[in-house]
Amino acid sequence: MSPIEIVLWVAVPYVSIIAFVAGHIWRYRYDKFGWTTRSSQTYENALLRWGSPMFHLGILMVLAGHVVGLFIPREWLYAIGITEEMYHWGATVMGSFAAVLTLAGLAILIYRRRTVGPVFLATTVMDKVMYVFLALTLGFGTLATFVHQVFGSGFHYRETISPWLRSIFGFQPQPELMANVPILFDLHVLSALALFALWPFTRLVHVFSAPVGYLFRPYVVYRSRDDVQGTRAPKRGWDPISTPDPQRLRRP
């Protein structure tokens, strides 16, 4: 176990996780107002109409695939009758489809962001950084899938990457599992870790605002004026003040 491997497969993941969790907590407390999708649909709709749903639906499929591939031990899948071949075939076909959909959507969105004047002007530095790491992560992931899974002999990441990731979350890191992982998968993992560290400081925070509650609440929301002193707690030293008590001002 070389020091560099320890850094890459133990230190970096934990730094990334801490930045991700603490960053979200900080951002939510500090910047609820900035917590938004920052949609640019009002500027331009013709490209967004295609690009945005393609990207988002694609990335949701990618997410679902990663949850199954990384967090569900293969023995569990064997137990319900999903063999290695079935899994490999399904993951490769559906994964490739999702990857193409996502990348095509992302390409449309980035093209739009660069060429449509108002959208480009509304792009922040953080947006650009985020796009770089998002594109790198998606690109390496797709490349790894195509090189090893589609055209190659197939790499069994469920023997290496998946248990390594689970070991990280179990606080018993096993960096040795990552020793013989192909470089494309390494790059995919590392760029993803960088993206996760950046996540809370980008517009990606809107992922955690997925409005699932909309399905269950009544249509019309009523709130009392008394409850609506903003949704954030007053900061220390800024407690609400009340008008001075007239009794205390009056002479006895």
Partner 1 sequence: MKVMAQISMVMNLDKCIGCHTCSVTCKQAWTNRTGVEYVWFNNVETRPGVGYPRTYEDQEKWRGGWKRTKRGNLKLKDGGRLWKLAHIFSNPKLPEIHDYYEPWTYDYDMLLNAPAGDQIPVAKPRSLLTGEDTKISWSANWDDNLGGSLETMQDDPILQKMSESVEAEFSKAFMFYLPRICEHCLNPSCVASCPSGAMYKRAEDGIVLVDQDQCRGWRMCVSGCPYKKVYFNHRTGKAEKCTMCYPRIEVGLPTVCAETCVGRLRYIGLVLYDADLVAEAASVEDEHALLAAQRSILLDPNDPAVIEQARKDGIQEDWIDAAQRSPIWKLIQQYEVALPLHPEYRTMPMVWYIPPLSPVVDVVSGSGADGEDARTLFAAIEKLRIPIGYLAEMFSAGDPDPVDLALRRMAAMRSYMRGVNLDGEGDERIARAVGMPGEDLQEMYRLLAIAKYEERYVIPSAHAEQAHDLEEMGCSLDFEDGPGMGGAGPFGSSSGQSVPVAVENFQSLEARQTADRPSSPGRVNLLNWDGNGTPRGLFPPKGKDVPQGDMGPVQSTGKRNKGKDV
Residues engaged in binding partner 1 (CB under 8 A): 30-45, 48-49, 52-53, 55-57, 117-118, 121-122, 124-127, 201-203, 206, 209, 211, 213-215, 217, 219-226, 228-232, 238, 240-244, 248-251
Give the nearest distance from C-beta 139 to partner 1 in angstroms. Answer: 22
Q: Which residues contact 245 (CB under 8 A, 6 or more apart)?
A: none
Closest CA to 206 of 41, 63, 27: 27
Give the DSSP letter of residue 178: G
CB nearer to partner 1: pick between 123 and 174 = 123
Minimum CB separation of residue 210 from partner 1 in Å reads 9
Distances (CA, A) of 27 to 163, 215, 221: 31, 26, 26
State which residue, 88 or 203, has the beta carbon closest to partner 1. 203
Residue with smaller CB distance to partner 1, 54 or 194: 54
Closest CA to 199 of 129, 138, 142, 135: 129
Supply 166's token pair.
């689970």
Please check whether residue 45 is in contact with residue 119, taking contact to mean a CB–CB distance below 8 angstroms. Answer: no
- The answer to whether the annotation marks 66 as part of a ligand binding site is yes
Q: Is the dihedral of CA 54, 57, 60, 65 positive or negative?
A: negative
Whole-number minimum distance, CB 112 to partner 1, in Å?
12
Nearest to 161 by CA among 176, 149, 146: 176
Instruction: Find out whether 56 is annotated in a ligand binding site.
Output: yes
Residue 87 or 131 having the CB closest to partner 1: 131
52-55-61 Cα angle (round to 5) = 135
Residue whose CB is less far from partner 1, 129 or 135 = 129
Residue closer to partner 1 (CB basis): 127 or 186: 127
What is the nearest approach in angstroms of partner 1 to the Cβ of residue 123?
A: 9
How far is 134 from 192, CA to CA, in rounded Å? 8
88 a known binding residue? no
In whole angstroms, how close is the CB of 84 to partner 1 at the nearest point? 35
Q: What is the dihedral of CA 86, 154, 59, 22, to 10 degrees?
A: 110
Residue 156 in marked binding region: no
Which residues are part of a known binding site?
56, 66, 188, 206
Which residues are part of a known binding site for heme b?
56, 66, 188, 206
